Structure 1
């Protein structure tokens, strides 16, 4: 079941300690667009089904990635897309959004996502253990 837009955004805002819902929404859109470029097939579709519709569309129409990004490069790419962000603030943004997305997706789907991504994403998803 899809979480309501406001519920999802409230969780991102709380987890990211953003001052405004607009900051949380901007982070969610950028991070989910980048994530969508790295997930394929039924894993991306399954995650989209667990997101509010607007964010599902962002995930399913991703920015184009020419190669899988390491977790460090994913954070750098996020910083490049968010005005005024540094790598440190972008790491915070990524972790806030991905951990809320993982909560919405559940453990089994989160494990499947982590198996599609290069090593190192576990902490960004708020899952400090290795998949499998």
Structure 2
């Protein structure tokens, strides 16, 4: 039994990461080899419901704008099941701008591990 009280099911395929972005924002993720779902305006809820229901979805990295447009209902079942994990992020829109999300990732780690972890910037030493 899992912590949620449901019997464990044997998975025939590994869980996957899916990045969900607006049309035109997928190139960098695709070049990195990530599965990407491009979502048109007005299709956010349907796309997130479909992805959340997919048996092999482990992590849905969803751009903030897509997540806000979808509202909370499409991902309610995912929150109840615990899978897929939804990781919101913001794409930088100007050169040199950092995407937001550090605080959210730190909160996820704190919840999973039980204590806070300081996340350093790229290139920072210990």
Q: What's the TM-score, normalizing by structure 1?
A: 0.30
More strand by share: 2
The higher-RCO structure (CA 8 Å, 6+ apart) is 1
More helix by share: 1
Q: Return the index of the structure with the highest Cα Rg.
A: 2
